[in-house]
Amino acid sequence: MSERTQSKSPLPGTPLHVTMSDMGVNERVGEYRRRMRERGFRPMQVWVPDVRSASFAGEAHRQAALIAGAASATEDQAFIEAVSVEWEDE
């Protein structure tokens, strides 16, 4: 191979292979959504608290301390345990 026709690979001796789709991102996403709808699914977006954030940890700690310090904490815990079902390992 001449220097002019030699491919520029990130690693010497490794062939460079690029795959490109004729579809743009929007078309691929649309196609995926169409297939999923055909299978009986529907799209859904859910926003949940970020449990990794410091503010979440602080608020969870604050609420747990309030519950633990409540006058009815013992009765409340007894109720929770009475209505709870133990999970069986599968």
The Cα–Cα gap between 47 and 68 comes to 28
Give the domain extent around 68.
Answer: 25-83
- Is residue 76 assigned to a domain? yes
- Is residue 36 assigned to a domain? yes
The Cα–Cα gap between 65 and 88 comes to 30
pLDDT in tens, 19-69: 666 779 999 999 999 999 999 999 999 999 999 999 999 999 999 999 888
Number of domains present in the structure of the chain: 1
- Is residue 54 assigned to a domain? yes
- Distance set, CA 50 to CA 37, 53, 60 (Å): 29, 6, 12
- Is residue 13 assigned to a domain? no
**pTM metric for this prediction:** 0.41
- Is residue 88 assigned to a domain? no
- Is residue 6 assigned to a domain? no
Sign of CA dihedral 42, 50, 78, 75: negative
Chain centre to alpha carbon of residue 69:
34
The Cα–Cα gap between 82 and 74 comes to 12
Q: What is the structure's pLDDT at 37?
A: 97
- Is residue 44 assigned to a domain? yes
- Is residue 41 assigned to a domain? yes
